[in-house]
Amino acid sequence: QVQLQESGPGLVKPSQTLTLSCNVSGGSVNSGGFYWTWIRQYPGKGLEWIGYMSDTGSLNYNPSLRSRLSIAVDTSTNQFSLRLSSVTAADAAVYYCAACGYTSGGSTGVWYFIDYWGQGTVVTVSS
């Protein structure tokens, strides 16, 4: 069973770059079968999908964040990371790393779902 654990600074100054890492255990980031995903949850509880790197290395970012966002996988440490530049107060949230699994629906298509989640890390943006 895959387990995920976020790490990174809990406090970031406005205009700086937020960098978070996600340690993967119980599986390998390059073994296939998952899209390595970041999601955030605002204090008012809304969930926002940030983006993912697929098991083939392709990237898919939320267009609202694309110009500031970078997601990468490090096979040497079995981790994946998020970098978000030029942060503002609007970026304050709980950040979750997650594993998006998928399964064939036959002729219907491929079903994607987020089946593993980290515990979440709180990010505050303040000077």
Partner 1 sequence: DIQLTQSPSSLSASVGDRVTITCRASESISKYLNWYHQQPGKAPALLIYAVSTLYRGVPSRFSGSGSGTEFTLTITSLRPEDVGTYYCQQSYSTVYTFGQGTKLEIK
In single-letter form, the type of residue at position 53 comes to M
Distance separating alpha carbons of residues 45 and 123, to the nearest angstrom: 14
> What is the chain's Cα-based Rg?
15
Per rule CB under 8 A, is residue 38 in the interface with partner 1? no
CB 29 within 8 Å of CB 22: no
Per rule CB under 8 A, is residue 27 in the interface with partner 1? no
Per rule CB under 8 A, is residue 63 in the interface with partner 1? yes
Per rule CB under 8 A, is residue 74 in the interface with partner 1? no
- Residues of span 90-109 touching partner 1 by CB under 8 A: 96, 103, 105, 108-109
Distance separating alpha carbons of residues 85 and 75, to the nearest angstrom: 23
The only residue of 2, 3, 70, 115 in contact with partner 1, by rule CB under 8 A = 115
Per rule CB under 8 A, is residue 72 in the interface with partner 1? no
Tell me, by CB under 8 A, how many residues bind partner 1: 22
Distance separating alpha carbons of residues 107 and 32, to the nearest angstrom: 22
3-class SS at 116? strand
The only residue of 45, 57, 67, 126 in contact with partner 1, by rule CB under 8 A = 45
The only residue of 9, 31, 48, 75 in contact with partner 1, by rule CB under 8 A = 48
Binding stretches for partner 1 (CB under 8 A)? 45-49, 60, 62-63, 96, 103, 105, 108-109, 111-115, 117-120
